[in-house]
Amino acid sequence: MKKKVLIASILVLIIALFSLFLILYNGENKSKSIDEMLKDEGYSDNDISIILKKVSKDNYNDILEFGYDKSLIDILSSDDYDEKLFDNYILYYLKNKDANINDIIVIVNSGYDLYNYPASSLLASLTEEKYYINDNVARYLDYGNSHDVSPKKIVGFVNSKADLGFYSESYDSNLDDGNLVLVNKFYHLKEDYTPSDLISLGGQYNKGGNNKMRKEAAEALMKMIDAAKLDNIILYNISAFRSYDYQVNLYNRYIKRDGKEAADKYSARPGYSEHQSGLCTDLNEVSDAFEGTDEAIWLKNNAYKYGFILRFPKGKEDITGYKYEPWHYRYVGIEAAKIIYEDDITLEEYYAYYIEKNSD
């Protein structure tokens, strides 16, 4: 019995001594200023000055738990550091300690949910692109890590679905998109689709057999042709609306002449032709010789003012899937045409960012 009492007394004494130690320790720490505690962690006077200036008081304990790390000071010293994102920087840094600090800051500042993706200069540069879409980030990285191209090229290529391979997937064109309906090597019109508001182009506005366009597009085209004439530029339609059946015959003729692979570079498969939308026109001549003419130059510089875009521009063949066609113009409306012209993007890129992304 005495032995049990002795053991109990010893335990009580140990607990009492430990409690006294905690009281003295906490009292000592409470008497220390944040400056002193940070110095105990190994931070210099300059480091401490930065911490006190850049970190909220609510996060001081986080700094102490974090321990000394020069990279923390590098984060806080950045011109792009945002105090409200302190926890985000720390969380992402702890997952990417070997990454460039500036890349970490750019990625966190982007506001996108990227914490499960390793920090890299490629990811950072992608998030700074105007047409970046977060849902496409995995495909951006897959393509960018295997191709030596610019971040802008990566974003445009992937947004247009070109990384999937042309005709690899097929979607119904959304007619509710109106003048912005997308018809390309992924989006197609049904076999029986014919716009209900087609009107004929005549007189000075037309020199071709396929002379019909949707009403709004036709009126805009005539207005553009009138404006060009004032600048001594003569423009006219030579091929506008084409039916599905017309495209069947045309495409098959090209295959017979040049083979399927070659035909796909300049001719659309039936249902995938923009001409069936009634919103596009081939102007003056379907010939490479049209490039560099006064008419082609005028169109390139002015068509957007009337709602038209150069649909298959040079340098964008890998995005549109078609060779450069200086004669092929598509009506999208003035607002969209202005953005596409000024930002040097294609309808595919515009559609992915302004239409598809906002419909999710």
Cα atoms in the Cβ-side hemisphere of radius 13 Å centred on 360: 10
Grouping H, G, I as helix, E, B as strand and the rest as coil, residue 246 is helix
Q: Whose CA is closest to 277, among 185, 351, 191, 213? A: 213
Q: Are 315 and 346 in contact (CB under 8 A)?
A: no
Neighbours of 175 (CB within 10 A): 12
CA separation for the pair 133, 334 (Å, rounded): 24
How far apart CA 213 and CA 9 sit, in angstroms, is 101
**Crossing angle for the helix pair 86-95 and 70-77, nearest 10 degrees?**
140
Do residues 160 and 346 make contact, with C-beta atoms less than 8 angstroms apart?
yes
Distances (CA, A) of 267 to 42, 121, 220: 69, 39, 25
Residues with Cβ within 8 Å of 243's Cβ and at least 6 positions away in sequence, in order, are 194, 276
User: How many separate helices (H) and strands (E) can be counted in the chain?
Assistant: 18, 9
Active site includes 325? Answer: yes
Report which secondary-structure segment, H or E, holds 283.
strand 280-283
Enter the tokens of residue 298: 């005028």
Question: Which sign does the torsion angle of CA 125, 128, 129, 132 carry?
Answer: positive
b/e burial code for range 60-95 (CB count within 10 A of at least 16 → b)? eeebeeeeebeebbbbbebeebeeebbebbbebbee
Mention every residue, 6+ apart, whose C-beta is less than 8 A from residue 12.
Answer: none
* Annotated catalytic residue, options 83, 129, 169, 325: 325
Catalytic positions, written as ranges? 325
